[in-house]
Amino acid sequence: MKKVRIGIVGLGNMGYAHAQSILAGKINRLELGAVADLAPEKLARVPQVKGFKTADEMMASGLIDAILIATPHYDHTTIGIAALKAGLHVMVEKPISVHRADCERLIAAYKGREKKQVFAAMFNQRTDLYYIKIRELIRSGELGEIRRVNWIITNWFRTHAYYASGGWRATWAGEGGGVLLNQCPHNLDLFQWMFGMPVTLSADCAFGKYHDIEVEDDVTATMKFANGASGVFITSTGESPGTNRLEITAERGKLVYENDRITYTRNEQEMGEFSRTTRESFARPATWDITIPAAGHGGQHNEVLQNFTDAILDGAKLVAPAPEGIHSVELANAMLLSAWTAKPVKLPIDGKKYERLLKAKIAESAKKGKKKTVVAAAPVDFSKSFGK
């Protein structure tokens, strides 16, 4: 096989953007073989290839070797399982599933197929050279043992028109959550990719605080890690201009990433050792002020698609193996579970318990017949917007 023929199911914001990139030849050795969407008007936007109403029809056509799943979240699991069983290589948009139990079902369908099929997730921010550099500094031991992580990621501002642009948005039945399941899977993935998973977590989630929606649009979570380190994660879709600031406090100093700049205030001596050995009451370790360079944000979505193609044709190591996607889903689930029960949560969570509670939320929503305010949404400029 000299090229990979990929089919895209779901031609919303992300699916259409991916189709345009592939058709423009931006991913070497990857060609668009077919598309699928229930909406005829969306299929009409990609007249260059054969269009199908359903993923099943597209998978049975023989026109594709791989599939990119860019549908509403719950379909990631069912279509993903069907595609794996059909022998296709699979790329799934974030999140890989809505909840831990569905992640486990999807991952189970891949077991035994690892040598024949490539299964990847669209965690494009893993290609960001700033986050790659920070991860390298952590893993190399340069920062020393981490004591505290604070990430404020509130620049996910969304309008009422955004939430009115699709009936599946901002509902328990359609999306399975709000900011944690739609915007923040990238940040939650990066969080665990850099720092690992916490052992306990508590969260305060506000539901419909800034918008006429039933899911969370404002979250503050606190965490504890196995080594005793603390974590704070704050996010919202209701703040503008918002903030994206990652601060890491470690034995050898403090690292801050904000506004495309990594600064590192490095202790000449580890803070714990200095505290134990100095005879002075109010002394602090001497420090160096360092700016750490990074060469930009990387290739993002197209780099992940290129990596997926290279993994299929050349056996390249994946940037984002899909089974790793369970971790970001579990963090989101744990935050919601803590908010629903008003209690701290131990990780790993009970996936079946969470699934039961989520189904209860869906049933309660259906009983109430809650509807979102309809606001006319402006057309999306797909050349600039790659967010769901």
Provide the pLDDT for residue 367.
83
The gap from C-alpha 327 to its chain's centroid, in whole angstroms, comes to: 10
Provide the pLDDT for residue 382.
28
Over range 311-321, report the average pLDDT.
Answer: 98
Please spell the DSSP secondary structure of 288-353, one letter per residue.
EEEEE----S--HHHHHHHHHHHHHHH-PPPSSBGGGHHHHHHHHHHHHHHHHHTS-EESS--HHH
pLDDT digits (tens, 9 = 90+) for 2-38: 999 999 999 999 999 999 999 999 999 999 999 999 9
Q: What is the pTM of this model?
A: 0.92
Provide the pLDDT for residue 115.
95
Query: What CATH code would you report for 4-123+299-320?
Result: 3.40.50.720
Judged against a pLDDT cut of 50, whether residue 377 lies above it is answered with: no
Query: Could you give the percent of the chain with pLDDT greater than 90?
Result: 92
pLDDT digits (tens, 9 = 90+) for 142-168: 999 999 999 999 999 999 999 988 778
Residue 385: burial class (beta carbons within 10 Å; 0-12, 13-18, 19+): exposed
Cβ–Cβ under 8 Å, residues 186 and 246: no
Provide the pLDDT for residue 84.
98
Same fold, 4-123+299-320 and 126-296+328-368: no
Provide the pLDDT for residue 385.
32
Provide the pLDDT for residue 77.
98
Provide the pLDDT for residue 368.
81
> What is the rounded distance in angstroms from the CA atom of residue 89 to the CA atom of residue 65?
7
> What is the rounded distance in angstroms from the CA atom of residue 11 to the CA atom of residue 26?
18
Provide the pLDDT for residue 366.
86
- Phi/psi for 323 (5° steps) reads -55, -25
Provide the pLDDT for residue 167.
77
**What is the CB neighbour count within 10 angstroms for residue 77?**
22
Residue 378 — pLDDT band, cuts 50, 70, 90?
very low
CATH top class, domain 126-296+328-368: alpha beta
pLDDT digits (tens, 9 = 90+) for 218-277: 999 999 999 999 999 999 999 999 999 999 999 999 999 999 999 999 999 999 999 999
Cβ–Cβ under 8 Å, residues 61 and 52: yes
pLDDT digits (tens, 9 = 90+) for 51-104: 999 999 999 999 999 999 999 999 999 999 999 999 999 999 999 999 999 999
Residue 40: burial class (beta carbons within 10 Å; 0-12, 13-18, 19+): exposed
Provide the pLDDT for residue 388.
43
The residues near 342 (Cβ < 8 Å, ≥ 6 apart) are none
> What is the rounded distance in angstroms from the CA atom of residue 201 to the CA atom of residue 195?
14
Judged against a pLDDT cut of 50, whether residue 374 lies above it is answered with: no
Provide the pLDDT for residue 379.
34
Provide the pLDDT for residue 19.
98
Mean pLDDT of the chain: 94
Domain positions in the chain are: 4-123+299-320, 126-296+328-368
